[in-house]
A and B are shown apart, each in its own frame.
Chain A
Amino acid sequence: KNEVEQSPQNLTAQEGEFITINCSYSVGISALHWLQQHPGGGIVSLFMLSSGKKKHGRLIATINIQEKHSSLHITASHPRDSAVYICAPTDKLIFGTGTRLQVFP
């Protein structure tokens, strides 16, 4: 079993839809990254959080350390949100395989 599981693996949405991506992990951690990988391969860090919720624009990330679960939400999705979203517990330097999101106009 992978230490980090993301769901869904692939996600298709219409522009404007509310998106949720889930991340579950089996290891005890202190904090978790959410990353976005663009089609060209470059990766940017969206959030690093250790508790509660963080919001940046249309993106919201939540985490429950005790339940070993985190979610990334995108409100009012847009085609430019199309990317692979990756969760990564910080302590273990391991990464989920990512969720590929495609948003159509």
Chain B
Amino acid sequence: DGGITQSPKYLFRKEGQNVTLSCEQNLNHDAMYWYRQDPGQGLRLIYYSQIVNDFQKGDIAEGYSVSREKKESFPLTVTSAQKNPTAFYLCASSTQAGIFGELFFGEGSRLTVL
């Protein structure tokens, strides 16, 4: 079945450590996105990519980095520069670059920094 796979589902890390969250899709979608969700708040865009080897910063990119070396993969690294990394992270993809494409989401990764 086609879909988006995020891993790990739960992740605990010590303060100051970099963490990489995986996002893989087999939907053959060009566009992929990373969002952050905090309790009581809406989804906020971290980074998005419309095509392989290209990505753009979203509203809250500081302290995060991404790569898009393959169409199906869009990993997110939460660096030690991110001041408040504990959050729920969601990856999504769409057939077209965010404008008219239906969005598909992964199940999310919950990061807790101790």
Check A31/B108 contact, CB under 8 A, given A94-B45, A97-B42: no
Residues of A near B105 (CB, < 8 A) are: 35, 42-45
The contact string, 1 if C-beta is below 8 Å from chain A, for chain B 46-89, is 00100000000010000000000000000000000000000010
* Contact B42 A45, beta carbon cutoff 8 Å: no
Within 8 A of B (CB), among A63-91: 86, 88, 90-91
Give the size category of A's interface with B. Answer: 20 to 34
Quick one: which of B92, B102, B103, B104 has the most chain A CB within 10 A? B103
Contacts of B58 in A (CB 8 A): 93
Task: Given the known inter-chain contacts A42-B107, A42-B108, please indicate yes or no for A90 contacting B42, CB distance below 8 A.
Answer: no
Quick one: which of B33, B102, B104, B110 contacts A93, CB cutoff 8 A? B33
Would A45 and B102 be within 8 Å (CB), given that A40-B107, A93-B33, A97-B40 are in contact? Answer: yes
Interface of A is mostly: loop
Over the window 23-51 of chain B, the binary record of Cβ atoms lying under 8 Å from chain A Cβ atoms (1 yes, 0 no) is: 00000000001010100111111001000
Beta-carbon contact of A48 and B102 below 8 Å: yes
Interface residues, chain B, CB within 8 Å of chain A? 33, 35, 37, 40-45, 48, 58, 88, 90, 92, 98-108, 110
